[in-house]
Structure 1
Amino acid sequence: MYFHILETRAATGSFYTYWSGRETQRIFDVHQRSAIVYNTRRAIRLLLLGLKPDDLVWFTYDDDLSPRALLKYEIWRRAVVSAGYGVTETPLRHGRKAWRAERIKPPRVDKVHTAPDPQGCEE
């Protein structure tokens, strides 16, 4: 999974890609940032429920994020778990982190057997 903000400039037809949350602090206020995280969480869950990939990975872009900055990754991790995935986190160099998710497959049932009536009476 990749997350970025794409700013388009209608007058010139050009665009700029923001990969870092540190860059977008000057663009979005706290309420807008909260709405972006909320809607991204919803989109992640819906995409995973619909597409059902076997696995996926995602990483922090910036080095040494504060606990507050890591909160959005925890929110996204919970969205992935709620869509039926097991998630592991791996620390990387320079304070970066990576997550790997694998879809939890339900146990396979080959044949359904009914238990005999313990009283010996079948209805």
Structure 2
Amino acid sequence: MLTGLAAQRLHDIRQAFRISLQGSRSLSTALNYHLDSPDNNPDLPWEFSDANKEKVKEILSHYPSNSKQSAVIPLLDLAQRQHGGWLPVSAMNVVAKVIEVAPIRVYEVVTFYSMFNRTK
């Protein structure tokens, strides 16, 4: 049995979740999981522009070669800026390839930080 502060916190979490579900078609939409669409799916080609490829090299130069994954946030920010303020899944896959990690590691970062937009 929860009492005091723990009970209030659980109530607050449940209320926030109910609010997030309002107007959503499904739980996955409410939680903002990736859903393939014509303009956002892993099969769409995406790459950094030539100018941004130079910026990628510059960003990576700040990290030891065995710690490329530490550049995930600045690279995602660069990709989001290039793509008009949001990150398609294909851009996330490119970042994963650049920093040599599994794509899920990049998805985890994108879903954790609210500064990254996964939709237009």
| TM-score, normalised by the number of residues in structure 1 | 0.26
* Structure number, greater radius of gyration: 1
| TM-score, normalised by the number of residues in structure 2 | 0.27
Q: Which has the higher helix share?
A: 2
